[in-house]
A = this chain, B = another copy of it.
Amino acid sequence: MKPEISLNNISIVLVNTKTPGNVGAVARCMMNMGLSRLVLVRPPLDRNNEAMKLAAGAEEIILKAPQFETLKEAVTDHGLVLGTSRHTSRHRRNIHTPRQMAEQALPLLSSNKVAVVFGREVNGLDNEDIALCHELISIPASDAFPSLNLSHAVMVVAYELFTAAQAKLQPSERVLAPAEELENFFEHLQKTLEDIGFIDKSHPGHMMFSLRQTFGRARLDSRDVSILRGILSQIERTAGSGA
């Protein structure tokens, strides 16, 4: 029984974390739960080595964590990108609990890298970064005091993944389209919808956000993307050509 093996394809991605100590606390709870791959996007300066102190034995996870300037670069080779959000708004229908997420993500890990993305302590992920996420997770919390410490939020997600990995391992052979391919598809989709006048070039945001969620849920593989882009190309050829 080696559930940890499959969890190696999980990346915990911290975006623009404010407090170095939180990076350390996250590394510790990741290692507690058999996760090993931490990814840092614009991490904080850590003059006093706070991260190492709070890692309390999980220093290795920090030392080998790759760093990126943007979330887009950080997740480019990931088949599934899950964002964490504490707010539910009209833009954010279809938010999963950590438990639902773990059940869905786990079978994909045998053939795909899966990223779980956590935003800055107070503000969370900004809209640009949320748009890069295929689906969203929200941790259940009391309405009266919903603001979790960053490492506590990671703990809950990591705990659900570890628990799900222990419960059963049913690998899926499905290889999802990497995020880069998906982003190219979304660009193509947006361009086509602008060309046929379905969305306004100056305000593509809201509609594209909805469509990103719809296609995010579809767990597209490369063949799906290729078919959908084939349709887009055909729409572009047909539009205005009198087909």
Contact = CB atoms under 8 A, between A and B. Distances in A.
B218 A214 contact: yes
Contacts of A196: 234-235, 238, 243
Contact of A93 (B93, B141, B174, B238): B174
Given A28-B149, A144-B4, A162-B142, A224 B220 contact: no
B31 A197 contact: no
A57 interface: yes
A interface, how many residues as a size bin? 35 or more
A219 B221 contact: no
Interface string A208-243: 001100110111110110011011001100111111
A213 to B, nearest CB: 8
Contact of A163 (B99, B224, B242): B99
A179 B119 CA distance: 37
19 contacts: A25-B149, A31-B145, A32-B147, A32-B152, A33-B142, A34-B142, A93-B223, A94-B221, A97-B163, A142-B162, A152-B152, A155-B155, A196-B235, A197-B238, A207-B227, A214-B224, A217-B217, A235-B235, A238-B239
B174 A144 contact: no
Contacts of A148: 29, 32
A49 interface: no
A146 interface: yes
Contacts of A144: 4, 31, 34
Given A57-B145, A140-B162, 15 more contacts: A29-B152, A31-B142, A32-B142, A32-B146, A32-B147, A33-B141, A56-B149, A93-B223, A139-B159, A156-B156, A195-B243, A196-B238, A198-B230, A214-B224, A215-B218
